[in-house]
Chain A
Amino acid sequence: MDSVELIGMISIIMAGATVGIGAPITAIGEGWAVSRAMSALAQQPDAAPVITRAMFIGVALVESSAIYCFVVSMILIFANPFWNEILAIAGGQ
């Protein structure tokens, strides 16, 4: 197997694996945060604005780790530096 195929294959596999591992773990964390916020809302409906805002901020902070995974996998697919490098070498020959 030459290096073009290797780089292409590993990039695609890792792009899937990055989102596939990163997103579910983040989703579990977010689910915990939201479920805690919901039970807090059920106990204290008066504090709804404060709880909702804190939940949104927390969820957005947690969400960013899933977004990092997504950005990395998008880079692997659409803007892969190694792929561009190998294409440039192949084009030069």
Chain B
Amino acid sequence: MEITPDSIVYWQAGPIKISATLVFTWLVMALMVLASWLVTRRLTTDTTLSRGQNLLESIVEGIQEQIRDVTEQDPDRFLPFIGTLFLFIATCNVLTIVPGFHPPTGSLSTTAALALCVFVAVPVYGIATHGFFKYLKSYLSPSPFMLPMNVLGELTRTVALAIRLFGNIMSGSMIGAILLAVAPLFFPILMDALGLLIGLIQAYIFSILSLVFIASATRAHEEQQHVEASTANEEIYG
């Protein structure tokens, strides 16, 4: 029994391996690109929509809505990154029910790569909003003594993101495999259905958490300005 699809190797030449993780990641990417291409090549602004356009529009609208609720900022800045994360993870997790499919998110290398993307995106968005030095100064708040804690927090939450997704998806496929050996008739189906729910929730959690991290990097300063502005107002009107 394998705990990760990394250990299933299809083809190997020296140090270069084509593992199941790689194959299924490319498969999911190809599937998503193909589906989006099929839908978006005949977009209309008519009142009658094709089913696919309707689906994609409601997905994008839903993601925009969630981003607006969480960050209270313009969602279009975050939509490409967060939307990609959510759609990729959700597709991987939902396709778990297809027999023979090994979800790439059940491998620590995929989830670590996704978490590293978030790790890089947080300072990128923060610097793009505040500028380099103002962003670095946010590590010194509330006091310079908190600098090690802030840096440590940045690292541990990245590790936590990766392990959380990996553990949840891996446990799903592991429970399925164990139950197949113990009670092969109905229970694996039930646990697979539960795995679908868990997979979607984990995709949601991963993207919401990365959104919260990014939003906290971009927001910190605006709140200070807001407080200053409100005190200024009080001085004027008080």
Binding site for B on A (CB under 8 A): 49-50, 53, 56-57, 60-61, 63-64, 67-68, 70-71, 74-75, 78-79
Contacts and interface: CB of A to CB of B under 8 A. Distances in A.
A74 B164 contact: no
Main DSSP-derived SS at the A contact region: helix
Contacts of B70: 53
A57 B166 contact: no
B163 A67 contact: yes
Contacts of A74: 3, 170-171, 174
B1 interface: yes
Interface of B: 1, 3, 69-70, 160, 163-164, 166-168, 170-171, 174, 201-202, 204-205, 208-209, 212
B163 A64 contact: yes
B212 A64 contact: no
Contacts of B167: 64, 67-68, 70-71
B163 A68 contact: yes
18 contacts: A49-B69, A50-B69, A53-B69, A53-B70, A53-B208, A56-B201, A56-B204, A60-B202, A67-B164, A67-B167, A67-B168, A68-B163, A71-B167, A74-B3, A74-B170, A74-B174, A75-B3, A78-B1
A16 to B, nearest CB: 14
A55 to B, nearest CB: 11
B72 to A, nearest CB: 12
